[in-house]
A and B are shown apart, each in its own frame.
Chain A
Amino acid sequence: MSSRRRPGWLTLGIGLALLLVVGRRAVGQPPLYDGVVVEDPYRYLEAANGALGNPSSGTQSVPLDAGVSPALLVATAENPPQAELIVDRASIGLAPGTTAIKVTIKPIPPPTPGGAGQSPEARLSGNVYEFVLVNQAGIGLHLQPGKTATVVLRAPNGVTNGVIARFVENRWTPLATDNGGLPDLYSTNAADLGIFAVTLSGTTASRNPVTSPAASALATPQPAPSEGFGAPIWIAIGLLAVALLLGIWYLRDVARGPAPPPRR
C-alpha cells in the first residue's frame, strides 16, 4: 500500500489546488452537501391554475459593526429560499447618522418594460423580487463602488435555463449568473440592488410554461408542475438495463476463473 502513498500525496496536492481555484468563485457553497434534497414547490405572487401562492418576504435590521456595515444574509422563508441576499462586511455606503441597516426582500408585481431594445425572447420565470437597503431612518443606501452583493434567486421547480436579470432603466438587463446548489437555483454578484428576476435563456424557454413575456404589462407567472431534472427516468431505466446486461456478462465471465494481473 505504501507504493500508492506517493501518488496519493500528489493527488491530494492536485485536489487541493483545484479546490482552491474552484472554491474562489463558488459563492461559498460547501463542496458536498449530499444526503436528502427537499425543495418545496414554488410559491407565486400571482398564483393561477392551482399553484401555490403567498410567497414570503424577508427583512432584517442589523446595527453597524464597529462603524461599518455588517455582513448580511437575508432570505425569504421558503425551503430553500426563493430569494436571498448576501452582503460582505463594510460593503455598504453609509449615509450620515446611520446606526443600523435594514434589508427588505419582497416579491412585487412585474414592472412594465418600456422603450426600444427589449428582446421579445426575454421571459420571466417565477416572481420578481425587490431588494432594498435603508438605514434606521428609512434613507436609501447603496453598495460602495467596487463592492458587490450576491443575489440568489430560485426559479420555479425544474427551470434549468435561467439567467438573473436586473430591471434597470425600464428594461431587463441580464447579469452574469452562476447555477449551483440546486438545478433551479441561481446567483449573481450585483453592483447595486433593486429589482431582480430569473429570466429564461435559449430556445428551450417554451419548455416550461412558468413564464411571462417581459414586455407585457400584464405579465402573470403561470404555474407548472414540478419537473425535476428534465425527466431522466427513461435514461435511468436505459442505464440500469445496460448495467444489468454488462453486469451479468461480467459476473459470468468472472465465475469462469482467474486472469492475468492488472495493468500498472
Chain B
Amino acid sequence: MTALAGESLARPRPDSRRYVRVAWLLAGLGGVALSRAAANGNGAPSAFGAGAAFGAATLGLAWLDGWRPRIPAARGLAVSLAVGLAGGLVLVALPELTGGGGAIGLGMRPQPFAAWVLVTLLVSAGEEVLIRGALLDAVEAAFGLPVAIGLSGLAFALVHAPLYGWGVLPLDLAAGVWLAGLRLTGGGLAAPIVAHALADLASWWL
C-alpha cells in the first residue's frame, strides 16, 4: 500500500521536456505491454512471470519518471480508500446493473491462488502508478487536464488489447476515464489502485 500515495508527479520543466516526457512514458508503456503479451504464453508459469514482470516494469518506469511511494496522512488515506472501494464496487456491479447479460466464463483461475492475488495486485498497482500517476501528470503538464484524462484512458485501454483483444477497448476506455476521476476526487493514487485491484480480484468469482 506504499504505492497509494504517489501524488503530483509533475515538476516544472521546459516545454520540450514535457513532450519528451509524455513520449517516453507512452513508448515505455507500449513496449512493456507488448513484451508481456509476447512472453505470456499458454501456461500458468509463463503467465505468472509475464504478469509479474509487467507490474514491476510499470513501477520501474514510474520510478524513473520521479514517482516515489509515500504514506499519506491517515485522514487523506481513509478518504482515498473509501473513494476507491466505492469506485471498485461500481466497476464490479455495473455489468449486472446494466443488464448486459451473464458474464462470459473465462475460466482463468491459475493456481496457486495466493500467487494470482499477488501478481494481480502488482499489475493493477503498476498500471495505476504509471498511467493514472506518471502519465496523467505528464500529459496534464504538457497539454492540460482534459487531454490528460482522455489520453491516459486511451493508453489504459490499448495496454489491455494485446492480451484481451480489441473488443475490450470501449469498456476499458470508459473504465480508464472512471479511474482518472477517482484519482482526481480521491486526492491521490490510492483510490484508483483500490478500485482497480478490487475489480480485478473480483474476476476470480465472476
Contacts and interface: CB of A to CB of B under 8 A. Distances in A.
Q: Is the interface of B mostly helix, strand, loop or mixed?
A: helix
Contacts of B15: 263
A90 to B, nearest CB: 14
Chain A's interface size range is: 35 or more
Interface in A173-210: 178-185, 187
A24 B47 CA distance: 30
B90 interface: yes
Nearest to B39: A233
Nearest to B182: A12
B27 A239 contact: yes
B74 interface: no
Interface stretch (A34-42, A103-111, A214-222): A34-42
B103 A29 contact: yes
Interface stretch (A94-102, A114-122, A130-138, A251-259): A251-259
A1 B186 CA distance: 9
A228 interface: yes
B183 A8 contact: yes
A25 B168 CA distance: 11
B166 A179 contact: yes
Interface in B119-144: 119-120, 123-124, 127, 140-144
Interface in B38-67: 38, 40-44, 47-48, 51, 61, 64, 66
B105 A81 contact: yes
Given A23-B100, A236-B35, A249-B20, 9 more contacts: A11-B184, A22-B174, A32-B91, A36-B119, A37-B40, A179-B166, A180-B167, A243-B24, A258-B11
A22 B173 CA distance: 10
